[in-house]
Amino acid sequence: MTVPTTAPVSWTTVCDYHVLLPERGVCALVDGEQVAVFRTFDGAVYAIGNLDPFSGAYVLSRGIVGTRGGEPTVASPLHKQVFSLVTGACLDEAGAAVPTYPARVVDGRVEVAARAALPEQSGPMGSGRRLVDAP
Amino acid sequence: MSRVVVAGYGPTAHRFVEALRERGFAGRITVIGEEPRPAYDRVALTSYLTGTSLEDLTYEVPEGVETLLGTRVTGIDREARVVTTAEGATVPYDVLVLATGSAPFVPPVPGAEHAHVYRTIDDLDAIRAASDGAAEGVVVGGGLLGLEAADALRGLGLRTHIVEMSPWLMPRQVDEGGGAVLKGHIEDLGLSVHAGAGVQEIVTADGRVTGLRKPDGTLLDAQIVVFSAGIRPRDELARAAGIDVGERGGVVVDAGMRTSDPAVYAIGECALAGGQVYGLVGPCNTMAEVAADRILGGTAVFEGADLSTKLKLLGVEVAQFGAMSGALDVTYMDPVGGVYKRLFISDDASTLLGGICVGDASPYATLRPFVGKPLPAAPADLLFTGTGAANLDLPDDAQVCSCNNVSAGAVRTAIADKGVTDVPGIKACTRAGATCGSCVPMLKQLLEKSGVEISKALCEHFTYSRAELFDIIRVRGVTTFSELIANHGTGRGCDICKPTVASILASLHNGHVLEGERAALQDTNDAYLANIQKNGTYSVVPRIPGGEITPDKLIVIGEVARDFGLYTKITGGQRIDLFGARVEQLPEIWKRLVDAGFESGHAYGKALRTVKSCVGSTWCRYGVQDSVGLAIALELRYRGLRAPHKLKSAVSGCARECAEARSKDFGIIATEQGWNLYVGGNGGFKPRHADLFASDLSTDELIRTIDRFLMYYIRTADRLQRTAAWVESIEGGLDHVRDVIVNDSLGLCAELDAQMAHHVTTYEDEWRATIEDPEKLSRFVSFVNAPGVPDPSIVFERERDQIKPMVVTP
């Protein structure tokens, strides 16, 4: 169920872009929520929830970044389920997903938008809400 | 059919009850065995003296089969259909199966009562006991079993003589020319061969054997004499019960393995089938299958058996198949290299009749299935090059596995209809290759020819196996993942290929695992140099080489654990694991540990973990070598060595084996003379005892052998393949590995030695290097935009006076 919202997007500065190493993640606190922020090999920046829905541990920022069929991904460091960095969907288990957040680079700084400001729908794991739009 | 009773519990009886169960027999099965243990693998009997445990040799009793062990059937009441045991117990039967085997033949010469025989575990125990203090031994009998026994005596450190009645060794398998080549091989090993000689008497003094006198009067000094001069069927039970037996022994059976009493069957070495007694595992297994089929109403027939043999005795390959004579023959003889190969062909030079090989048995696997069939290529090509034979198309009725009587057609059916794609699958489905393994190359060939594509691809990003990637990286001097995937792969990798490549780069170059781009390849454990736990915290394991630690250092570990509130537990590898550290605590913890002289224990890496040790000769009254000293030396030598999977080791100071070295990837057990090296063991999901690789090595020899073993494993194993699985899957098995690293058969040893030397000289403690590098340290934060803030999701509760993760529902 998609609920449109009119609230303005509020961006949080996470770190300098150069702090993000290619194909590694960091975790940031954005409005009190743990967000995993990644830089892929082509330089793009993605943000997803840091909570691994399978283990209940906040660890996704520490997973290995790669690709599956060209789509950028991260694998949970605990049990290796792979999530799309674009949609947040788990590519190994249909129905599971993590939230995604808009992320951008402005003046050499990485910014992530708080999730509360965005359209949302209920996540199938009951563990979070999955956003319909990609960053 | 409600109750089947089996008299005798050897390998044939075992195969029979297995076959009955597999075919769905639901009635009661009782096996009565003379030995105090279930059936064991007699083909591998000699390995019992070189370290294989009885447990490893013993077959599992099939579910629901009752056993009466340590007793035997002494009488059969055929009217009442009841057998009586030695204790006087009676067991009723509907069908009785005699699988009483055979007894070694001991000629009635003076002193024979002091000689040993070579058939059971008890016989081997007696030989081992008698070898204590003995210097020389004689084996009477130069056939297959005689040479096995001679190998065993030699393995026990005795100067060994072989006495054979016939003019040459193994007269049933090889001709005179082959016998001469075989004798050369055996004498090169230091054994004395006395062919064409008999036994006059066994000379004793005070009830102890002192020698063996030949009919010509010559005396061979020996403290042990072993008779291995043929077998006699144990048919006394049938004979006493009035069941027909052959003139020269053996219970007479028809083609369905039934004796003259329709309720009694006989199988294995006690049976006389078609006028012949069979002593090889293959025909005996077939008899067991036929009997099981018949008892369940089938129509299976035992049609005699192929007595072809291929074996490796005393390191010499010997094979014989088909006929041992023919109108025409082609012979290849290389007395220098010790190779003899001869093929027998029909008078019109069109049909293969048989062959004999000594020193190189490679024609056996390819040519045996063609016996009685048109020659598949020119004889010279078949004998000399071997290449012509490699691409032969086997007819469907050609027997591929003689141990289990499996045809090429049956293997093809398994591949085509049951979707089998690998050799283990064929073994499970058809039993081909499951006994002696000599047909495994043939099975691989059938798989390849069937068009089964066995994907070696590591993942979607690389079409190569780990071993192939290792070679690409080594040969082309690749130093980064980006370079590798750009030139040899697709996409940007994943959690499978990235850690694999990181491990290969570390094995080859030994740079810091978090340096530059390599940091992005590591699994979280390597990325944070600690072991992630279920709640996202990490555990810390400092290295404690050999498990030896001073009180002062022990106190430091305790203080660090107390100050950071960590849960502490002693590990199975004789060190201490500290749990519950958050990422931002890791550098502080390690600063304290490094300052106190600790270094990384690599518990987080696919690398050497620990070399466990017992206390050894320094303190222990039984110890014969300094196991702690060796364990420390080995642990320091191989620390940080990245491998396809974790590596564990242990050193025991004597044969009591308190360090459990045989459950390790490489385990060392002290002997009076030096060290025995065992390889390929592990605990884990599928436990495996390590196999003896080399005996009585000096410390230098030991280290050189382990160096090469590890480097060869690192070079050729699959991803996440422990040494146990590697040893089992590598073509040619442990013999091949021994050939490569002891005999340098591939000319690799210098390179393997250099790689290990590079590892040893370039090793640095990665934790010390990390805490000295601010850039690497900056990654150890919970939140990049709030470095001082601990992760609020990590909470603990207390249990038994320590912390434990509190489960928080997300």
Quote the CA–CA distance of B171 and B798 in Å, as a whole number. Answer: 75
First CA to last CA distance, chain A: 19
On whether any CB of chain A is under 8 Å from the CB of B571, the answer is: no
Alpha-carbon distance of B723 to B477, in angstroms, equals 26
A16 min Cα distance to partner chain B (Å): 10
Distance from CA of B693 to the nearest CA of A (A): 36
> What does the block give as tokens for B370?
């063609």
Res A115: pLDDT? 66
Mean pLDDT (whole number) for B237-247: 95
Distance separating alpha carbons of residues B805 and B139, to the nearest angstrom: 66
CA distance B610 to B575: 8
Could you tell me if A117 lies within 8 Å of chain B, comparing CB atoms?
A: no
Segment among A52-66, B148-162, B297-311, B440-454 with least mean pLDDT:
B440-454
Over B68-117, what HEC string results? EECCCEEEEECCCCEEEECCCCEEECCEEEECCCEEECCCCCCCHHHCEE
Q: What pLDDT, on the 0 to 100 scale, is given for residue A127?
A: 33
Beta-bridge partner residues of B32: B7, B68
CB atoms within 10 A of CB B775: 11
A127: which 2 tokens?
A: 């563990």
Mind giving me the DSSP string for B429-447? HH-TTSSS-TTHHHHHHHH
Is B807 close to A34, i.e. CB distance below 8 A? Answer: no
Q: How confident is the model at residue B64 (pLDDT cuts 50, 70, 90)?
A: confident
Option in B461, B495, B783 nearest A75 (CB)? B495
Q: How many CB atoms lie within 10 A of CB B122?
A: 11
Judging contacts by C-beta atoms under 8 Å, the chain A residues touching residue B520 are: 21-24, 64-65
Q: Given A19, A26, A56, which is nearest B809 (Cβ)? A: A56
Amino acid at position B766, single letter? E
The whole model's pTM is what?
0.60
Reply yes or no on whether the pLDDT at B272 is more than 50: yes
Q: Does B720 touch chain A (CB under 8 A)?
A: no
Supply the pLDDT for residue B11: 95
Q: Is the pLDDT of residue B567 over 90?
A: yes
Q: Which residues of A touch B778 (CB under 8 A)?
A: 19
Pairing status of strand A64-68 against strand A11-16: unpaired
pLDDT > 90 fraction of chain B, expressed in percent and rounded: 66
Taking every pair of Cα atoms in chain B, the longest distance, rounded to a whole number of angstroms, is 97
Nearest-CA distance from A122 to chain B in Å? 14
Are the C-beta atoms of residues B266 and B97 closer than 8 Å to each other?
yes
What number is the average pLDDT over the span A120-130?
Answer: 36
User: Does residue B621 belong to the interface with chain A, where contact is any CB pair within 8 Å?
Assistant: no
Is B807's Cβ below 8 Å from some Cβ in A?
yes
Which range has the top average pLDDT, B23-37, B207-221, B373-387, B697-711?
Answer: B697-711
Name the pLDDT band for A129 (thresholds 50, 70, 90): very low
- Inter-chain residue contact B783 with A13, CB threshold 8 Å: no
Residue pLDDT, tens place only, B417-430:
887 877 777 887 88
**Could you give the CA distance from residue B300 to residue B316 in angstroms, rounded to a whole number?**
37
What distance in Å separates residue A5's CA from the closest CA in chain B?
Answer: 25
Select, from the ranges A114-118, B497-501, B513-517, the one with the highest average predicted confidence (pLDDT).
B497-501
* Cβ-Cβ contacts under 8 Å for B378 (sequence gap 6 or more): B388
Sign, CA torsion B499/B505/B510/B514: negative
Q: Sort out which chain B residues have CB atoms less than 8 A from A58's CB and list them.
A: 536, 791, 793
Residue B350, Cβ neighbours under 10 Å: how many? 10
Residue B19 pLDDT greater than 70, yes or no:
yes
Q: In the structure, what pLDDT confidence band is assigned to residue B809 with cuts at 50, 70 and 90? A: low
Q: Choose the closest CB to A55 out of B494, B520, B534.
A: B534
Task: Give the closest-approach CA distance of B498 to chain A in angstroms.
Answer: 8
Query: Considering only CB atoms, which chain B residues are within 8 Å of A40?
Result: 492
What is the pLDDT confidence band of residue B207, given thresholds at 50, 70 and 90? Answer: confident
User: Could A57 and B523 be called an inter-chain contact, meaning their C-beta atoms sit closer than 8 Å?
Assistant: no
- Is this prediction's ipTM beyond 0.85? no
Taking an 8 Å cut-off on Cβ atoms, the answer to whether A66 and B494 are in contact is: yes
**Strands B3-7 and B95-98, bridge-based pairing:** parallel
pLDDT at position B438 is 67
Q: What is the pLDDT of residues B570-579, one digit of tens each?
A: 999 999 999 9
Q: How many CB pairs under 8 A join A and B?
A: 108
Among the partner-chain residues B491, B523, B536, the one whose CB lies closest to the CB of A58 is B536
Q: Alpha-carbon distance B762 to B618, whole Å?
A: 32
Q: Which residue has the higher pLDDT, B399 or A88?
A: A88
Does the pLDDT of residue A135 top 60, yes or no? no
A21–B contact, CB cutoff 8 A: yes
Contacts of B491 in chain A (CB under 8 A): 66-70
Distance in angstroms (rounded) separating the CA atoms of residues B219 and B233: 32
Using a CB–CB cutoff of 8 Å, tell me whether B790 touches chain A.
no
At B624, list the tokens.
């014969």
Tell me, what's the pLDDT at B540? 97
CB of B20 within 8 A of CB of B123? Answer: no
Residue B375, CA distances (Å) to B3, B389, B391, B398 in order:
49, 10, 13, 13
Percent of chain B with pLDDT over 70: 97
Chain B residue with CA closest to A35: the answer is B783
CB within 8 Å of B491: residues ≥ 6 apart: A66, A67, A68, A69, A70, B460, B461, B485
Range B301-324 average pLDDT: 84
Per-residue model confidence as pLDDT tens digits over B75-118: 999 999 999 999 999 999 999 999 999 999 998 999 999 999 99
Tell me: pLDDT of B772 over 50: yes
User: Taking 60 as the threshold, does the pLDDT of residue A118 lie above it?
Assistant: no
Contacts of B498 (CB under 8 A, 6+ apart): A64, A66, B481, B520, B521, B522
What confidence score (pLDDT) does residue A121 get? 42
Give yes or no for residue A2 having a pLDDT over 90.
Answer: no
Pick from B199, B173, B170, B172: nearest CA to B183: B170
Contact B223, B215 (CB under 8 A): no
Of B12-16, B150-154, B442-446, B545-549, the one with minimum mean pLDDT is B442-446
H/E element holding B703? Answer: helix B699-716
Residue tagged 């466990």 (tokens): B612
Instruction: Give the pLDDT confidence of B599-654 residue by residue, as tens digits.
Output: 999 999 999 999 999 999 999 999 999 999 999 999 999 999 999 999 999 999 99
Q: Does B517 sit within 8 Å of A68, measured CB to CB?
A: no
Comparing C-alpha atoms, which of B602, B579, B601, B573 is closest to residue B683? B573
Distance CA B738, CA B747 (A): 13
Quick: pLDDT tens for A29-65: 998 899 999 999 999 999 999 999 999 999 999 999 9
Chain A's closest residue to B784, CA to CA, is A28
Does residue B785 sit at the A interface (CB-CB below 8 Å)?
Answer: yes
Nearest CB to A77; choose among B494, B519, B532: B532
Q: Measured between CA atoms, how close is A7 to chain B, in angstroms? A: 25
Does A18 contact B at CB distance below 8 Å?
no
* pLDDT at B1 (0 to 100): 57
A119 inside 8 A of chain B by CB: no
Read off the pLDDT of residues B666-694 as tens digits, 9 standing for 90 and up: 999 999 999 999 999 998 777 889 999 99
Q: State the CB neighbour count (10 A cutoff) for residue B132.
A: 8
Residue B578 three-state SS: strand
- At residue B101, the pLDDT reads 95
Q: Please give the residue of chain A at the shortest CA–CA distance from B525.
A: A77
- B775 in reach of chain A (CB within 8 A): no
Q: Please, what's the b/e burial string for B311-328 (b: 16 or more CB within 10 A of its CB; e: otherwise)?
A: bebbebbbbbbbbbebee
Ordered DSSP codes for B343-370: EEE-TTS-BEEEEEEES--HHHHHHGGG
CB proximity under 8 Å: A 44-83 to B = 51, 53, 55-59, 62-70, 72-73, 75, 77-78, 80, 82
Give the lowest-confidence range in B79-83, B345-349, B612-616, B728-732: B728-732
Q: Which residues 515-534 of B have a C-beta within 8 angstroms of A?
A: 517, 519-525, 527-528, 532, 534
Give residue B436's pLDDT band: very low, low, confident or very high (50, 70, 90): low
Are the beta carbons of B498 and A55 separated by less than 8 Å? no
Residue A124's pLDDT is what? 37
- Band the pLDDT of A122: cuts 50, 70, 90: very low
In a 3-state reduction of DSSP, which class is residue B115?
coil
The residues with which B677 forms a beta bridge, in sequence order, are B668, B694
pLDDT of residue B422: 78
